[in-house]
Structure 1
Amino acid sequence: MCIVTPALADANNGNWQTTQRWARLLAGHYRVAIARQWPDASLHETPVALIALHARRSAGSIAAWAEAHPQAPLVVVLTGTDLYRDIHHDAAARRSIECAHRLVVLQERGPLALPAHLRARCRVVFQSSPSRVALPKPRGFLRALVVGHLRDEKSPETVFEAARLLGSQEGIRIDHIGEAIDPALGEAARATAQACPHYRWLGPLSHAEVLRRLQRAHLLVQASRIEGGAHAVLEAVRVGTPVLASRIDGNLGMLGEAYEGYFPVGDAAALAALLRDCREGMARDDGRLARLAAQCAGRAPLFAPEAERQALLDLLNDCLRPSGTGPRTGDLP
């Protein structure tokens, strides 16, 4: 089995976390190779199937596999930028999804973004993380954590503006983790930190450190305008830290339609109001923070490693049985 991913360990992002975890979950059933592109000269035998992350960025590998091995299973895993931007505007990304025997999305509203004739090929595979105990949290203030590299899709400016709307005396502190992929957003983060003592930009941190901070936070803030199924969201849920999230399909498909922690995309005032509400109700069992925690606990089993492993094995078994491959045009059984 070969997994092609445009992001290897040096990227320290969700794509790499997914790749590494899938290789580990499948290791008892397949010998798994990880490559940045296909073909890979280091592989001395042809894999039984190719799993490619990212329809646009892995388009060359997808096309090469489809041409060389037209009947061998090809699984394309769709990111948020694939689903909600590229497959609608980019010819290479569109060719990738047409080539695939199976398409994978990472949250339950993902299939709705696909062209209708491709939805029968689609499978939902929730990503996973081990459960972890919550660590002691501050009592005198509310700690909100933002996890995501500083780039347009993550809408970090919504967090910057919300921080400026909050007073330093309100007992709400925001820690922001992520590399400045866009230098202008890095400058904006520094300016916000200078103007708002309750906001800190911590830059990129190791995955282990991110998890430790998630365990100690009262909330995760997920402000993205495009998201395929944020890894930070499921990790927060699995450590018992509730989420405030933008109301986009990528978050609705992770947390459920009835979740009470959404705010409109880009609405910093609504985010600030939710943070204040959670701060005011910190000590109450019926406060918003407690209700969000209970709702997240109800979603936590979806993101268990055993559930993800079984979903992957079911997907691959489906692909590898004789009826699992065949023409890539039109709906599949």
Structure 2
Amino acid sequence: MHLLIITPAGPDSKAGNRATALRWQVLLEQSGHQVQVLTGYEGETADLMIALHAWRSAHAVEAWREQNPDKPLIVVLTGTDIYHHQHEYPGVTLASMDTADLLIGLHDLVARDIPESFSDKLVTLRQSAAQPAVRGGSRPEPGQFNICVIGHLRDEKDSLRAALAARHLPEDSSIVVNCAGRPHTEEWREKALSESKDNPRFHWLGELDKPGLENLMAVSSVMVISSVMEGGANVVSEACRAGLPILASDIPGNKGLLGEDYPGYFPVGDDKALAQLMSRAEREPEYLAKLRAAVSALAETFTPEKERQSLDEALARVLDIRG
């Protein structure tokens, strides 16, 4: 088939939605489809459209349905769709969800947080990550217990929570928090620079390329994902594939990937609780090993082969719906 993938993130963006669109383009082309990645819909001819983001891609969703009333439409629900936009802009967001023939959620608990009327057309897909050249924590730096934070600096990510937690650590701790990511706003840039200056345990590294990120994970013993909302962060997939232990905020987007019983959760926004887990990971080898075993056990659920299979199944289902 000829497929369109719509993402609001432009060609130069390194946002998660853009990365997802490009990864899906490769996987779907491997399945024999012709795939275009666009930022909007301008009447292009295709057999099926996949729109990333119910709210931000709402115009494309509406235009596709008006021009192609009998052709399949899939809408992918992002974290901001589920946990913000459907409440802040319910008319537009829910209209996109209603218009779609199929909805894709990126973690196992999405059904709990969208209207029950949409549950029948919701499928779950786990985003994949390539097998890294080196494992997480494989090159620890002497005298330091490195903890990484990876992702754009923005409110939804609560990006400095690990830095704030590091301020609560005992003086003899060797923990250093290294944060890699582009600031979403100038305000976030200033906050990251200020924290780097005032907090000796925190280093903001800016935006790193893929080799830089792989190296950061290799020297890190733990990753922190402190988000207040997530649709299913790909960085979780990457850490699990690398065998890098995760400390995660106890939000549905993290629990829906790591499981309800994962041993590394802390209450969202609670830097003191996070500090306790960070210290425990540093000082208790058994706890760190337990975290590593848990992420390693999940690694096979985040392979490109699994994601491609899920995409193929989603296409088959939406074609069946359309008859």
TM, length-normalised to structure 1:
0.91
Quote how far apart the aligned CAs of 1:87 are: 1.5
Quote how far apart the aligned CAs of 1:149 are: 1.2
Q: Could you tell me how far apart the structure 2 residues matched to 1:209 and 1:319 are?
A: 39
Look up the match of 1:153: 156
Q: Deviations over 1:116-147 (max 9, x none)?
A: 01001000000001222314222432111001
Equivalent positions of 1:206-285 (< 5 A) are 206-281=209-284, 284=285
Q: Could you tell me how far apart the structure 1 residues matched to 2:27 and 2:213 are?
A: 22
Q: Could you tell me how far apart the structure 1 residues matched to 2:238 and 2:165 are?
A: 23
1:37 paired with 2:40, answer: yes
Q: Could you tell me how far apart the structure 2 residues matched to 1:37 and 1:288 are?
A: 47
Look up the match of 2:85: 86
Q: Deviations over 1:286-317 (max 9, x none)?
A: x2111000011111111011110000001101
TM superposition outliers: structure 1 runs of 4+ over 6 Å: none
Look up the match of 1:72: 71
Q: Deviations over 1:20-51 (max 9, x none)?
A: 110000103200001000026xx5xx211000
Look up the match of 2:23: 21
Look up the match of 2:9: 7
CA contact (8 A) 1:229 1:251 kept: yes
The one-letter amino acid of 1:20's match is: L
Look up the match of 1:127: 127
The count of aligned residue pairs is 316
The one-letter amino acid of 1:205's match is: L
Quote how far apart the aligned CAs of 1:167 are: 5.1
CA contact (8 A) 1:168 1:197 kept: no
In structure 2, the gaps of 5 or more residues are none
Quote how far apart the aligned CAs of 1:165 are: 2.0
CA contact (8 A) 2:222 2:244 kept: yes
Quote how far apart the aligned CAs of 1:190 are: 1.5
Q: Deviations over 1:151-170 (max 9, x none)?
A: 11011242332132235641
CA contact (8 A) 1:160 1:189 kept: no
Look up the match of 1:290: 289
Quote how far apart the aligned CAs of 1:95 are: 0.9
In structure 1, the gaps of 5 or more residues are 327-333
1:48 paired with 2:47, answer: yes
Q: 1:144 to 1:155 in 2, by over 3 A?
A: same
SS of structure 1 residue aligned to 2:123: strand
Q: Could you tell me how far apart the structure 1 residues matched to 2:58 and 2:170 are?
A: 47
SS of structure 1 residue aligned to 2:167: helix
Q: Deviations over 1:32-75 (max 9, x none)?
A: 001000026xx5xx211000000111000000001111121100
SS of structure 2 residue aligned to 1:221: strand
CA contact (8 A) 2:166 2:175 kept: no
The one-letter amino acid of 1:14's match is: G
The one-letter amino acid of 1:11's match is: S
Q: 1:56 to 1:35 in 2, by over 3 A?
A: same
The one-letter amino acid of 2:8's match is: P
CA contact (8 A) 1:164 1:192 kept: no
TM, length-normalised to structure 2:
0.94
Look up the match of 2:117: 117
CA RMSD after TM alignment: 1.5
SS of structure 2 residue aligned to 1:180: coil
1:205 paired with 2:208, answer: yes
Look up the match of 1:300: 299
What is the aligned counterpart of 1:193 among 189, 196, 202?
196
More off after superposition, 31-40 vs 163-172: 163-172
Q: Deviations over 1:229-256 (max 9, x none)?
A: 1111110110110110000000000100
Q: Could you tell me how far apart the structure 1 residues matched to 2:171 and 2:241 are?
A: 30
CA contact (8 A) 1:220 1:233 kept: no
Q: Could you tell me how far apart the structure 2 residues matched to 1:264 and 1:149 are?
A: 21
Q: Could you tell me how far apart the structure 1 residues matched to 2:304 and 2:271 are?
A: 34
CA contact (8 A) 1:220 1:236 kept: yes
Q: Could you tell me how far apart the structure 2 residues matched to 1:149 and 1:185 are?
A: 10
The one-letter amino acid of 1:106's match is: L
The one-letter amino acid of 2:195's match is: T
